[in-house]
């Protein structure tokens, strides 16, 4: 325990000024947002340097100035260092003085950053006033070791039935959301953030949405949607636009991880969405080529795997000795024509603890979320489910697996036996049941009742078009007459045998009362 505390102390000390005498260099070459600097040979990797505007201010005064221009040291060479400009590269010119700050790149974080929109340097983008910094969090740091972590065993409920039932996500897990353009990847992530409003305040995770090179209009729309659903009160947005320099886009996910670690180390839970790491890889490739780093496969630099692994390894569930906080990561990857075997997708798949694969064909058929249950998997599995969800979700997975096989076979078979027809009809009803509209998230206790009812036969004999109507009517009936069931499942996280028996009885009565829905 003491060694861990010592390590954290050392990391915090590393971002303090280390040079008693100021070291000043000169820009000898500049172009495409990269400056080559001579004279600061003691500069460290990931150290911030300050481009001097020549007005004779002290280092402290310059750093407090609103139009200050920073650079980030990324190449340490024999006679010089190469620095990427974090801002308008056109302001940097040859002969300009550059001053070391002695600080590794860090982002100022405080509890009042919640509900705000910032850039990767911690600068305000929403115009709502300054943020009080409690601590400077290093953007890059070594992930927690195995002995400092504990098992992932608490769920993050997404509010999406298909995911919570079959591909559960645990607090501290890294679950990849992958699919082609416009298949609903961001919607799944945003719905997960919105669904956290159903969690009790004391256990509700702080959510961080990182926009990497997204259009400003898309980020603004997402912020507006979060505000409309009351989710911005526990959400932080770290935004970079497609027009921002590649170094800022490269830093955005790391800045988000640093903010998440601030809350995790205080024993709280945090959820971070990286939207998306494909654009992040492109930004890093662009920056690396400008820094004259040798290109490898698809012109990506050789350390592109390490880039994403050191980012995603920071997601963790800490041990009780360290406060028991967690950081859950939902990285997003965009594929081309559903090719999950491409370079960046396979890299990230091998780093994460499972993937949610969204398929274009299913999306076009109107199945939303367009979840391919065959390829999608959670490597944490039922360890991240409540007892109630674990009890009801086993059958649905089996039914859908059988349905997928039979559906493929059905295209070639002209005459099917009765048992096969029943299985196909059952699979179609389950598929319809798992459809959900955008932002129509469902608390887990309602999900449990819905799936329990389907398993108990409430959908038997119902036309496909009436499946969702039956579900809504039954949930409304439970809320009206037996709200105690929902409360019991929510608090105990399990279905008692008595509740199961009474629910089964209610299903029989419902089918008689609402017989017109089965006609």
Tell me the CA distances in angstroms from 201 to 173, 196, 198, 444, one per residue in order.
21, 9, 9, 16
Exposed, middle or buried, 191 (CB in 10 Å: 0-12/13-18/19+)? buried
Token representation of residue 261: 């670690």
With H, G, I as helix, E, B as strand and everything else as coil, classify residue 48. Answer: strand
88-113 burial, b at 16+ Cβ within 10 Å, e below that, comes to ebeebeeebebbbbbbbbbbbbeeeb
Q: For the chain, how many residues are written?
A: 519
- What pairs with residue 31 in β-bridges? 34
- One of 149, 204, 379, 404 is an active-site residue; which one? 379
Phi, psi of 235 (to 5 degrees): -125, 145
> Is 379 an active-site residue?
yes
Tokens 């010089």, located at residue:
80
- CA 325, CA 288: separation in Å to the nearest integer? 35
Backbone φ and ψ for 166, nearest 5 degrees, come out as -115, -25
Q: Which two three-digit tokens encode residue 28?
A: 């000898």
Contact yes or no for 81/109 (Cβ under 8 A): no
| Phi, psi dihedral angles at 358 (to 5 degrees) | -100, 125
Q: Which of 462, 441, 448, 444 is nearest to 510 (CA)?
A: 462
Task: Give the separation between CA 90 and CA 33, rounded to whole angstroms.
Answer: 8
| Bond preceding residue 183 cis, omega within 30 of 0 | no
Q: CA 398, CA 160: separation in Å to the nearest integer? A: 19
Identify the DSSP state of 107: E
Omega of the bond prior to 369 within 30 degrees of 0, cis? Answer: yes
Which residues, in sequence order, are CB contacts of 203 under 8 Å at separation 6+? 269
Q: Which two tokens stand for residue 514?
A: 């609402």
- Retrieve residue 328's tokens: 């859950």
CB-CB contact of 195 with 157 (8 Å):
yes
> Are 420 and 406 spatial neighbours (Cβ–Cβ below 8 Å)?
yes
Q: Which residues are catalytic?
A: 379
């Amino acid at each position: 325990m003491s060694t861990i505390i010592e390590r954290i102390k050392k990391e915090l000390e590393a971002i303090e000024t280390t040079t008693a005498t100021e070291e000043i260099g000169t820009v000898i070459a500049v172009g495409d947002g990269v400056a080559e600097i001579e004279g600061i040979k003691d500069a460290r990797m990931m150290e911030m340097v300050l481009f001097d505007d020549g007005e004779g201010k002290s280092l402290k005064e310059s750093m407090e100035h609103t139009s200050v221009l920073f650079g980030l040291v990324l190449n340490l060479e024999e006679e010089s260092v190469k620095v990427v400009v974090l801002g308008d590269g056109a302001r940097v010119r040859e002969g300009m003085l550059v001053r070391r700050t002695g600080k590794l790149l860090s982002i100022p974080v405080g509890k009042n950053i919640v509900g705000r929109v910032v850039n990767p340097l911690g600068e305000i983008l929403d115009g709502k006033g300054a943020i009080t910094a409690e601590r400077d969090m290093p953007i890059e740091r070594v992930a927690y070791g195995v002995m400092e972590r504990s098992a992932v065993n608490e769920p993050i409920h997404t509010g999406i039935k298909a995911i919570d039932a079959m591909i559960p996500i645990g607090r501290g897990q890294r679950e990849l959301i992958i699919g082609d353009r416009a298949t609903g990847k961001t919607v799944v992530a945003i719905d997960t953030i919105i669904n956290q409003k159903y969690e009790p305040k004391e256990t509700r995770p702080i959510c961080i949405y990182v926009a990497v090179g997204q259009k400003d209009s898309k980020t603004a729309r997402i912020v507006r949607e979060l505000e409309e659903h009351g989710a911005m009160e526990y959400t932080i947005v770290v935004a970079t636009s497609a027009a921002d320099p590649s170094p800022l886009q490269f830093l955005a996910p790391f800045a988000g991880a640093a903010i998440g670690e601030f809350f995790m180390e205080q024993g709280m839970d945090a959820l971070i969405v990286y939207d998306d790491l494909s654009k992040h890889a492109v930004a890093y490739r662009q920056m690396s080529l400008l820094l004259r780093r040798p290109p490898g496969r698809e012109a990506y630099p050789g350390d592109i795997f390490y880039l994403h692994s050191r980012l995603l390894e920071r997601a963790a569930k800490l041990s009780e000795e360290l406060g028991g906080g967690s950081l859950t990561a939902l990285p997003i990857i965009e594929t081309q024509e559903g090719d999950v075997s491409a370079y960046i997708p396979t890299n990230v798949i091998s780093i994460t603890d499972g993937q949610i694969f969204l398929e274009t064909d299913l999306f076009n058929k109107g199945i939303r979320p367009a979840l391919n249950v065959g390829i999608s998997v959670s490597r944490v599995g039922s360890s991240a489910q409540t007892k109630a969800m674990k009890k009801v979700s086993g059958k649905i997975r089996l039914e859908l697996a059988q349905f997928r096989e039979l559906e493929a076979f059905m295209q070639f078979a002209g005459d099917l036996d009765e048992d096969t027809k029943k299985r196909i009809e059952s699979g179609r009803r389950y598929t319809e049941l798992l459809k959900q509209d955008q932002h129509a998230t469902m608390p887990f206790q309602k999900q449990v009742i819905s799936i329990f009812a389907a398993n108990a036969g409430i959908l038997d004999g119902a036309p496909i078009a009436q499946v969702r109507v039956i579900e809504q009517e039954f949930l409304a009936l439970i809320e009206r007459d037996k709200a105690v069931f929902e409360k019991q499942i929510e608090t105990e996280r399990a279905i008692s045998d008595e509740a199961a028996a009474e629910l089964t009885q209610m299903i029989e009565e419902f089918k008689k009362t609402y017989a017109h829905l089965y006609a």
